[in-house]
Amino acid sequence: MKPITNRVKQVERKPLTFWESIYLISIAKGLMITLKHFFSKKATISYPEKQRPFSPVFRGLHVLNRDEEDRENCTACGLCALACPAEAITMEAAERLPGEENLYREEKYAAKYEINMLRCIFCGFCEEACPKDAVYLSQTVPPASFKRQNFIYSKEDLLIPKKATN
């Protein structure tokens, strides 16, 4: 049969010599490699005691920001939900009622704001699309869980807690 390309190389099998047949040289080479790695610096990190620093561009859990007066920055414009390629963000807008000026910054606010972290790909497009700097991705790692419901974060889970008033 004729080969398709000219890269074919015929392999020759020559018989092993006596020293090659008892594998002592190969075993000694393997032991040298093992000893070299035994005395080198370890690549693993003892996780609970030591933590590896994250990259400056690491994107973790989402956070909804507040302004200087502890009012919510989110105006429910929906740009973060539109920018999300995984469609992980859902929101419902509501009108601010009289007397709620200290809670919400604008006339419109997000009555319901949910992020499904199982769908989120941590791309950061929601952070870039927000005109009010209301949503940003923190340096916090999402916690592990066995229940799917624990990965759907509501507005109360994402909001920065209010500052304590003295």
Q: Binding site for [4Fe-4S] cluster: what residues are annotated?
A: 74, 77, 80, 84, 120, 123, 126, 130
Whether 117 contacts 142, CB under 8 Å: yes
Three-state DSSP class for residue 39? coil
Q: Which residue has the tokens 């941590």?
A: 122
Dihedral sign of CA atoms 138, 126, 64, 152 in order = negative
Q: Output the known binding site.
A: 74, 77, 80, 84, 120, 123, 126, 130
Q: What are phi and psi of 113, to 5 degrees?
A: -140, 115
CA distances from 142 to 11, 61, 111, 158 (A): 53, 6, 24, 12
Q: What are phi and psi of 66, to 5 degrees?
A: -120, 160
